[in-house]
Amino acid sequence: MENKLYVSMSPHIHGGDSISRKMWDVIIALIPALLVSLYFFGLGSLLVTSVSIASCVLFEYLIARFLLKQESTLRDGSAILTGLLLAFNLPSNLPLWIVVIGALVAIGMAKMSFGGLGNNIFNPALVGRVFLLISFPQQMTSWPLPKPFNLHYLDAATGATPLSVMKSSRFDRLPDMLDMFIGNTGGSLGEVAAAALILGGLFLLIRKVITWHIPVSILLTVYIFTGILRVANPEVYADPLSHLLTGGLMLGAIFMATDYVTSPMVKKGQVIYGIGIGIITVCIRVFGSYPEGVSFAILMMNGVTPLINAYCKPKRFGEVKKK
Amino acid sequence: MRTFSMGGIHPPENKISAGKAIEQVPLPAQVAILLNQHSGAPAVPVVQRGDRVKTGQLIAEAAGYISANIHSSVTGKVLKLDEVYDASGYRCQAVIIEVEPADEWTEEVVLNSTLKRDCTLSPEEIIQKIKEAGVVGMGGASFPSHVKLSPPPGTKPEVLIVNAAECEPYLTSDHQLMLEKGMEIIVGTKITMMALKVNRAVIAIENNKPDAITLLERLAIPYSQIDVMPLAVHYPQGGEKQLIEAVLGRHVPSGALPVVTGAIVLNVGSIFANYEAVQKNKPVIDRVVCVTGKSVKKPGNYLCRIGTSVQDLIDFAGGMPDSTAKVISGGPMMGKALINTQVPVTKGTSGVLLMDGNEAHRNEVYNCIRCGDCIEACPMGLEPYLLMSLSELSEWEAMEKECIMNCIECGCCSYVCPSNRPLLDHLRVGKFKVGAIIRGRKNQ
Ligand code: SF4
Ligand code: SF4
């Protein structure tokens, strides 16, 4: 008996939390928005999402197995999540081969080449999306219009999105606020359903997967910044609420910017990061040449994150103030 | 409900042995009394092989100021002075005594259990008696009590905090001691206040022990200077700095002694030992140890002599379950895994916890996903993920800058990490190295 005792240092118990618990919680939180998307974009949404997830999982498996010769890390669910998030950022009429390229860039370039989950600097799904946006600007910026149980895929009817309407300051053509809230507008397949995304966000808050700091600081910054512009010149600038409900802002603020690996770790740093994303987003939307700036804003702040981590230290217990 | 403000966790309490009446463990055939039962210098033996010693007789003298006397816990013959494994896995000097079946106590020890309330000694005399009796912190850290009771010149203690938080999961020995020796603890508190010349004491108890809170509140009614303060259940509340913050709302400045906040913290077991030392002339020769674990047949709170082997205790608690994979001295958060069960009970042994393979199993380690959970859980405001990578890179200087010396080794960081990273294992290495570097610098 004596020699069989297991000796290790304290603590001898673990709280039982795991990466896969956190990842699966995020996946669950995305399901309401996925259902809304399936309703409004139909077949296209289903195809793009399935192909995106399948290719992310496949690429991660192949790269881990044959290039890095590591144990497979699929069990943690992070590849599935990346696939799902990538799909959420794509139009539902995107040709599937482009989706596969996006998945390859997200997993191969943005994640595995840094050493896998935890070592990447930039959000993999967003790197995939931005790569596609630059390489296939046309396909990436023609969004289908919502139509319940749409069975058209590549040939779905496309049209203007609220963001492009806002860009041209034709506010009378903006869809109804309620439609924007429930997701009955054009846009990338997972970003339109603000209500469902907020629901998912609440779930993540309750499950303590995320805290309010990042989403709230982003949304508040956008609201205040666009509010000031609106007051300054209502002819040119859209109202702040439309800004909050359109484009990838909700998806970005709740799901993309809160990615653990690429966001700051200390709460104070998270607020700085969120404010940064908010400001850059509005600048691109209002003053830049793209109608949408959330992805770029998050990626830029991802790049600043190591710096924020280095300077934003938690409050130390019993810190002695230096005079 | 009061508690400390930063970090901390809420592990399952698992107080299996709660409410089990204290039972006396029969005298073992042999005891091994370690000479390093306290922090500071090991005591120097004053007996020789072949000597016959009585129960309560001094067998090793404190070596210097920060050290403590050690007494024989039994009557019998000194077989030898030998090295045995202590709870940390080091071989340490111990006096091995063959036990005679009947106790013969030293004359001065008062053996009856009648409560003795009055004490007319001066503070110096009280401290002297506590010092002679070899009282140390009985919660685990084992710091000699007489040193704590003599704060350095220039500091002024205002309040005595009795640490009865017992925030570690599983452990119940302090809880049961309060239930059965409540009055002694109140008198012990009063005596310790006299020694410290303070006119306020707070007995801090986590509110998962409502019976102890009610009892002590009632017993303390005649003593207007003693308050009982219930605290929210929150690990590591029994940590000295956390407890001072919970009770007084004051932070011990980094690098300073806790007494600068005006507080002196003593474990409730030590308060009871103070009572016995001062009122009954009884040195620390026994203590309550809870033997617990999910598969233990007879979990309970056992009064046993110092030097009894953990094996003897386990046998008394129904024997070692076959499934046992890990034996821990202390609680699951800060206790030490024993390399064998011959390790003797010391003054600081609060419990013996048996875990089966499933519970003791450590999960596979993954990359840090920078979730920040370890930062949120750290009661000292450190960044464990960062300290661990610095430790792996042997960046001792950077670790010092990142305040590694503030780490209280509570284990909250490792407990919460979703990637199962052994943060504290690496932090200990770093803390050890940085500590050595700092000492080297001071000696220059
Ligand atoms: S062990 Fe040290 S670093 Fe980890 S939580 Fe406790 S104090 Fe913080
Ligand atoms: S809890 Fe673990 S995974 Fe999360 S930041 Fe700390 S070390 Fe990294």
Write the pLDDT tens digit of every residue in A229-271: 999 988 888 889 989 998 899 999 999 999 999 999 999 999 9
| Domain assignment of residue A112, yes or no | yes
Which of A138, A172, A193 is a domain's end point?
A: A138
Mutate to test the pocket of ligand 2, among B373, B375, B425 (most ligand atoms within 8 A of CB): B373
Tens digits of residue pLDDT in B330-370: 999 999 999 999 999 999 999 999 999 888 888 889 999 99
Q: Which of B339, B367, B424 sits opposite A9 (nearest CB)?
A: B424
Through-space distance between the first and last CA atoms of chain A, rounded to whole angstroms? 59
ω into A11 cis (within 30 of 0)? yes
Stretch B417-432: mean pLDDT: 95
- DSSP category for residue A212: S
Residue B135 lies in a domain: yes
Reported as a single tens digit per residue, the pLDDT across A130-145 is 999 999 998 998 888 8
CB half-sphere exposure, A79, CA atoms < 13 A: 26
* Residue A13 in contact with partner chain B when CB distance is under 8 A: yes
The answer to whether B373 and B416 are in contact (CB under 8 A) is yes
- Using a CB–CB cutoff of 8 Å, tell me whether A11 touches chain B: yes
Model pLDDT for residues A166-184, shown as the tens digit of each residue: 877 778 778 888 888 888 8
Q: Please list every residue in chain A whose beta carbon sits closer than 8 Å to the beta carbon of residue B251.
A: 317-318
Note the pLDDT of residue B444. Answer: 77
Looking at all shown ligands, the one closest to residue A9's CA atom is 1
- Please check whether residue A283 lies inside any domain of the structure: yes
CATH code of the domain in which B200 resides: 3.40.50.11540
pLDDT of residue A321: 60
Q: What is A123-183 written as a DSSP string?
A: -HHHHHHHHHHHHSHHHHT-PBPP-TT---STT--B---HHHHHHTT-GGGSPPHHHHHHT
For residues B73 and B138, membership in a common domain is answered with no
Q: Model confidence at A322, in pLDDT bands (50, 70, 90)? A: low
Strands B23-24 and B91-99: unpaired
Phi, psi of A97 (to 5 degrees): -65, -30
- Whether B187 has a pLDDT exceeding 60, the answer reads yes
Cβ atoms of B81 and B49 within 8 Å: the answer is yes
- Per-residue pLDDT, A62: 92
Among B360, B390, B410, which residue terminates a domain?
A: B360
B387 and B417 share a domain?
yes
Q: For B250-283, write each residue's pLDDT tens digit.
A: 999 988 899 999 999 999 999 999 999 999 999 9
**pLDDT tens, position by position, A19-50:** 999 999 999 999 999 999 999 998 999 999 99
Residue A72 pLDDT exceeds 80: no
Q: For A200-217, what is each residue's pLDDT tens digit?
A: 999 999 999 999 999 999
CA distance B248 to B202: 10
What does the block give as tokens for A48?
Answer: 């793009």
Number of the ligand 2 atom closest to the C-alpha atom of B371: 4
CA of B374 relative to ligand 2 center, distance in Å:
5
A182 and A116 co-located in one domain: no
Assess whether B134 and B274 both reside in one domain.
yes
- Whether the CB-CB separation of B47 and B78 falls below 8 Å is answered with yes
- Residue B300 is classified by DSSP as E
For residue range A273-285, list pLDDT tens digits in order: 999 999 999 999 9
Domain containing A81 equals: 19-138
| CATH number, domain with residue B299 | 3.10.20.600
The kind and range of the H/E element at B248 are helix B240-248
The pLDDT assigned to A2 comes to 46
Residue A70: inside a domain: yes
Q: What integer is the mean pLDDT of B172-185?
A: 96
B416 and B294 inside one domain:
no
Q: Give the tokens for residue A310.
A: 């280095």
Q: Is A259 on the interface with B (CB under 8 A)?
A: no
Q: How many domains does chain A fold into? A: 2
The verdict on a CB contact (< 8 Å) between B320 and A1 is yes
pLDDT 10s digits, A252-262? 999 999 999 99
- Choose the residue to mutate in B423, B425, B429, B432 for probing ligand 1, maximizing ligand atoms within 8 Å of C-beta: B423
Ligand nearest, relative to CA of residue A264 = 2
In a domain, B114, yes or no: no
Residues 6+ apart with CB under 8 A from B102: B75
- With residues binned 3-state (H G I as helix, E B as strand, rest as coil), the percentages for chain B, rounded to 5, are 30, 20, 50
Residue A5, domain member (yes or no): no
User: Does A46 lie in the same domain as A168?
Assistant: no
Nearest-CA residue for atom 3 of ligand 2? B368
B228 and B155: one domain? yes
Clarify whether residues A304 and A170 are in a common domain: yes
Best B14, B405, B414, B416 member to test A by mutation, with max A CBs in 10 Å, is: B414
Do B175 and B276 lie in one domain? The reply is yes
Q: Is residue A6 part of a domain?
A: no
Chain A and chain B share a number of CB contacts under 8 A equal to: 162
Residues B275 and B247 in one domain: yes
Tokens standing for residue B318:
């129904």
With cut-offs at 50, 70 and 90, classify the pLDDT of residue B311. very high
- Are the C-beta atoms of B139 and B162 separated by less than 8 Å? no
The Cα–Cα gap between A223 and A244 comes to 7
Given A138, A153, A175, which residue is the final one in a domain? Answer: A138
Residue B5 lies in a domain: no
The domain boundary residue, chosen from B301, B331, B360: B360
Q: Is the pLDDT of residue A195 over 90?
A: yes
CA distances from A98 to A110, A127, B394 (A): 17, 14, 46
| All residues at 6 or more sequence positions from B90 whose CB lies less than 8 Å from its CB, including other chains | none
Residues having CB within 6 Å of any atom of ligand 2: B 368-374, 384-385, 416-419, 421, 423
Residues A126, A29 share a domain: yes
Number of domains, chain B:
4
Greatest CA span in chain A, whole angstroms?
A: 83
3-state class (DSSP) for residue B34: strand
Q: Residue whose CA is closest, atom 1 of ligand 2?
A: B417
Residue B3 lies in a domain: no
What distances in angstroms separate CA B136 from CA A32, B12, B242, one per listed residue?
59, 29, 20
Q: Are residues B377 and B346 in the same domain?
A: no
Are residue B251 and residue B326 in the same domain, yes or no?
A: no
Separation of CA A120 and ligand 2 centre (Å)? 15
For B354, phi and psi rounded to 5 degrees? -105, 130
**3-class SS of residue B75:** coil
Asked if residue B194 is part of any domain, the answer here is yes
pLDDT value, residue A323? 43
Nearest to A102 by CA among A54, A158, A36: A54
**Residues in chain A within 8 Å Cβ distance of B241:** 317-318
Judged by its nearest atom, the ligand closest to the C-alpha of residue B411 is 1
Q: Which of B296, B352, B275, B357 is nearest to B323 (CA)?
A: B357
Mean residue pLDDT of chain A comes to: 90
Q: What is the whole-number distance in angstroms between the Cα of residue A137 and the centre of ligand 1?
A: 49
Domain assignment of residue B118, yes or no: no
The answer to whether residues A56 and A175 belong to one domain is no
B296 alpha carbon – ligand 2 mean position (Å): 34
Q: Is residue A167 located within the same domain as residue A307?
A: yes
Q: Collect all residues of chain B within an 8 Å Cβ-Cβ radius of residue A115.
A: 367
Q: Is A184 in the same domain as A129?
A: no
At A115 the pLDDT is 83
CA dihedral angle for residue A172, residue A199, residue A220, residue A240, rounded to 10 degrees: 0
| A203 lies in some domain | yes
Tell me, yes or no, whether B183 and B262 share the same domain: yes
Examine the pLDDT at B158 and tell me if it is beyond 60. Answer: yes
Peptide bond preceding B28 in cis form (omega within 30 of 0): no
Across the interface, do A7 and B326 touch by the CB < 8 Å criterion?
Answer: yes
- For B229-244, write each residue's pLDDT tens digit: 999 999 999 999 999 9
Question: Is A17 near chain B, with CB under 8 Å?
Answer: yes
Nearest atom of ligand 1 to the alpha carbon of B409: 1
Report yes or no: B403 and A4 within 8 Å, Cβ to Cβ.
no
Residue B294 has pLDDT above 90, yes or no: yes
Range of the domain at B47: 28-99
Q: How far apart are alpha carbons B330 and B170 in whole angstroms?
A: 9
Q: What is the pLDDT of residues A289-318, one digit of tens each?
A: 887 889 999 999 999 999 999 999 999 998
Burial class from Cβ neighbours inside 10 Å (0-12, 13-18, 19+) for residue B119 reads middle
Matching residue, tokens 């091994």:
B32
Strand-pair category, B58-61 with B70-71: antiparallel
Other CB atoms within 10 Å distance of the CB of residue B26:
11
At position B342, the amino acid (one-letter code) is Q
Q: CB under 8 Å to B189, separation ≥6 — which residues?
A: B160, B162, B201, B203, B223, B226, B271
Choice among A173-182, B85-94, B267-276, B423-432 with the minimum mean pLDDT:
A173-182
Between the CA of B358 and the centroid of ligand 2 the distance, in Å, is 23
Residues B62, B69: Cα–Cα separation, whole Å: 5
- Which chain A residues are Cβ-neighbours of B375 within 8 angstroms? 265-266, 314
Question: Looking at beta carbons, which pairs linking A109-115 to residues 24 or more positions away fall under 8 Å?
Answer: A111/A60, A111/A82, A112/A59, A112/A60, A112/A63, A112/A64, A112/A67, A112/A68, A115/B367
E strand spans, B215-348: 226-231, 263-267, 286-292, 300-305, 324-329, 336-337
On whether residue A71 sits in a domain, the answer given is yes
Look at the block and give the residue holding tokens 């000699």: B144
| A312, closest residue in chain B (CA to CA) | B383
CA A183 to chain centre: 17
Quote the radius of gyration of chain A (alpha carbons, Å). 21
Six token digits for residue B191: 């005596």
Report if residue A14 sits inside a domain.
no
Here the ipTM equals 0.90
Give, for ligand 1, the residue of B388, B405, B407 to mutate: max count of ligand atoms closer than 8 Å to Cβ.
B407
The whole-angstrom separation of Cα B383 and Cα B426 is 13
Beta-carbon count within 10 A of B437 CB: 14
* A67 contact B CB<8A: no
Please tell me the predicted confidence (pLDDT) of residue A206: 96
Closest residue CA from atom 2 of ligand 1? B407
Q: How far is the CA of B387 from the centre of ligand 1 (A)?
A: 10
Specify the ligand 2 atom closest to the Cα of B369: 3
Residue of A nearest to B257 (CA): A318
Q: Is A144 within 8 Å of A136 (Cβ atoms)?
A: no
What's the average model confidence in pLDDT over B25-39?
A: 94
Q: Please, which residues have CB within 8 angstroms of residue B370's CB and are 6 or more apart in sequence?
A: A118, A260, A261, A263, A265, B385
Give CA–CA dist B141/B39, Å, rounded.
7
Q: How many CA atoms lie within 13 A of A106 on its CB side?
A: 34
Would residue B181 count as lying in a domain?
A: yes
E runs forming strands in A190-313: none
User: Taking the CB of residue B281, how many other CB atoms lie within 10 A of it?
Assistant: 17
B222 and B352 together in one domain? no
Pairing of strands B52-53, B23-24: unpaired
pLDDT of residue A1: 44
CB A188 within 8 A of CB A99: no
Q: Are residues A190 and A117 in the same domain?
A: no
Residue nearest to atom 6 of ligand 2 (CA): B374
With CA atoms as reference, the chain B residue closest to A118 would be B369
Pair B212, B325 in one domain: no
- The answer to whether B254 contacts A76, with C-beta atoms less than 8 Å apart, is no
B347 falls within a domain: yes
Same domain assignment for residues A189 and A241: yes
Query: What residue owns the CA closest to ligand 1's atom 5?
Result: B378
The β-bridge relationship of strands B300-305 and B23-24 is: parallel
User: Closest by alpha carbon to B362, among A76, A10, A22, A21?
Assistant: A10
**Which chain A residues contact residue B89 at CB under 8 A?**
7
